[in-house]
Amino acid sequence: MNILVTGGSGQLGRAIKDVAENSEHRFIYTYMSSQNHDGMVHLDISDPEEVNKVMDDHNIDVIVNCAGYTDVERAESEEDKAFKANAKAVEILSGAAKARGAVLIHISTDYIFDGSSSRPYREDAEASPLSVYGRSKLAGELAVRASGARYMIIRTSWLYSRYGKNFVKTILKKSEEQPLLKVVSDQVGTPTYAGDLAEFILTLLEPENLEKTGTYNYTDEGVCSWYDLACEVCEMSGNLCEVVPCETGEYPVKAARPHYSVLNKSKVKKTFGIEIPYWKDSLRHCLSEIATSLRSSQ
């Protein structure tokens, strides 16, 4: 099969490239930035003509949409850009998939929920996003469902990897440079290693799994706060930095975040018969990857 991976230069796109290295499928990775990426195809997913051309040129069977506007704070002042990338572009991709009988695997987020629940959110829980980012991602989900295309919407949370910018890498760097860090302790969710999500996405490419369309939650196992995650990063990396818990209100932010956004994964485990790694185990693996990468670059 021919697999189009949008957002190929991002965290998840690069993680998919790593795990798909020996795959029997043909992967076409795309990017949107002005910076050239060797081996990737430039594609503006908000341009229908460009999308249709790439789909036709490469005879695409499956789209994995990892692209999107992910800056939660900046989205509050750039609503048009957020909705263009997270909703309008998704509508275009969905239409292209529908027209060709392709399957769309679309990545969504826990931020479509308001965090008022005290139990993990199931796939059919009512969405009520608090931020522009969350509303734009929910609009993308609605566009997928309305398109008539065959689809899988995969909701995930707190994504990190050795690539790009993410919370884990930020804490790792700051804990090396500063003796004390204040980290929010009243936002609870689940960190998800991009490599684990990428492995799961590859299992979806099996012919029998592509027929299991619908919406699924996928994160690593377990629950923690941002404070807990920061503490683990410091402990596992051996950085002697004091991490102090604080409340969300102590940091002035534009975008409201859900205080509780844990996702229930019983459906995805039952449907696909998978085991999901525990977040601490995956964090340890990722930190090892980062350390190895740093040593090789020195």
Q: Give yes or no for residue 276 having a pLDDT over 80.
A: yes
Q: Give residue-wise pLDDT tens across range 238-269.
A: 998 999 999 998 888 889 999 999 999 999 99
Q: Which segments within the chain are labelled E, that is strand?
A: 2-6, 26-31, 41-42, 62-65, 103-109, 150-156, 159-160, 180-184, 188-189, 192-193, 214-217, 224-225, 242-246
193 is catalytic: no
Listed residue (68, 14, 69, 21) closest to 40, CA to CA? 14
State the Cα torsion 49-55-57-59 to the nearest 10°: -160
Q: Name the pTM for this structure.
A: 0.94
Which entry of 111, 133, 163, 227 is annotated as an active-site residue?
133
Residue 36 has phi, psi (to 5 degrees) of -75, 140
Cβ atoms < 10 Å from Cβ of 75: 25
Structure confidence at residue 34 as a pLDDT band (50, 70, 90)? low
Q: Give residue-wise pLDDT tens across range 70-125.
A: 999 999 999 999 999 999 999 999 999 999 999 999 999 999 999 999 999 999 99
